[in-house]
Amino acid sequence: MKSAEEIFNILKENFNDNIKELVKQPVDPYILCDPLKINEISLFLLSNEGLLFDNLMNLSGVDDANGMSTTTGSITTIEGGTLSVYYHMESTKFRHKVVLRVSTPREKPEASSVALVWRSADWHEREAFDLLGINFLNHPDLRRILMPYDWEAGYPLRKDYANPEFYHGMKVPY
Partner 1 sequence: MAIKTEEMVLNMGPQHPSTHGVLRLELILEGEIIQKVTPHIGYLHRCFEKHCEAMTYPQIIPYTDRMDYLAAMYNEFGYVIGVEKLLGIQVPERVEYIRVIMGELQRIASHLVAIGTYGADIGAMTPFLFAFRDREVILNLFEITCGARMLYNYIWVGGLSHDLHPDFVRLTREFITYFRPKIVEMNELLTTNRIFIERTANVGILPLETAINFGITGPMLRGSGFKWDLRKDDTYSVYNRFDFNIPIGEGKVGTVGDCWDRYYVRILEMGESLRLIEQALDQLPEGNVTSAIPKRIKPPVGSVYTRVENPRGELGYFIISNGTTSPFRVKVRGPSFVNLGIMDVLCKNHMVADVIAILGSVDIVLGEVDR
Rank residues 40 and 54 by Cβ distance to partner 1 and give the closer one.
54
Edge-first strand order for the sheet with 19-23 is 19-23, 30-33, 97-105, 82-90, 55-63
What are residue 43's phi and psi, to 5 degrees? -60, -40
Taking residues 55 to 84 in sequence order and writing x for each that binds partner 1 by CB under 8 A, - otherwise, the string is: xxxx-xxxx---------------------
Figure out which of the listed residues 2, 54, 135, 167 binds partner 1, where binding follows CB under 8 A: 54
DSSP state of 150: T
By CB under 8 A, tell whether 147 contacts partner 1: yes
Hey, is 99 helix, strand or coil? Answer: strand
C-alpha to C-alpha distance for 87 and 10, rounded to whole angstroms: 17
Taking each helix axis from N to C end, the angle separating 38-47 and 4-15, rounded to the nearest 10 degrees, works out to 120
Rank residues 17 and 84 by Cβ distance to partner 1 and give the closer one.
84
Site stretch for partner 1 (CB under 8 A), options 5-13, 72-80, 104-112, 157-165: 157-165
Rank residues 13 and 131 by Cβ distance to partner 1 and give the closer one.
131
Q: Which residues fall within 8 angstroms of residue 72, CB to CB, at 6 or more apart?
A: none
Rank residues 17 and 152 by Cβ distance to partner 1 and give the closer one.
152
Number of other residues whose CB lies within 10 A of the CB of residue 55: 15
Least Å distance, CB 16 to partner 1, is 26
Rank residues 36 and 57 by Cβ distance to partner 1 and give the closer one.
57
Residues 7-36 within binding reach of partner 1 (CB under 8 A)? 25-28, 30
Residues 85-144 within binding reach of partner 1 (CB under 8 A)? 86, 88, 92, 95, 99, 118-120, 122-124, 131, 144
Q: CA dist 28 to 42, 95, 100, 113, Å?
A: 19, 15, 10, 23
Which residues sit at the interface with partner 1, rule CB under 8 A?
25-28, 30, 54-58, 60-63, 86, 88, 92, 95, 99, 118-120, 122-124, 131, 144-148, 156-157, 159, 161
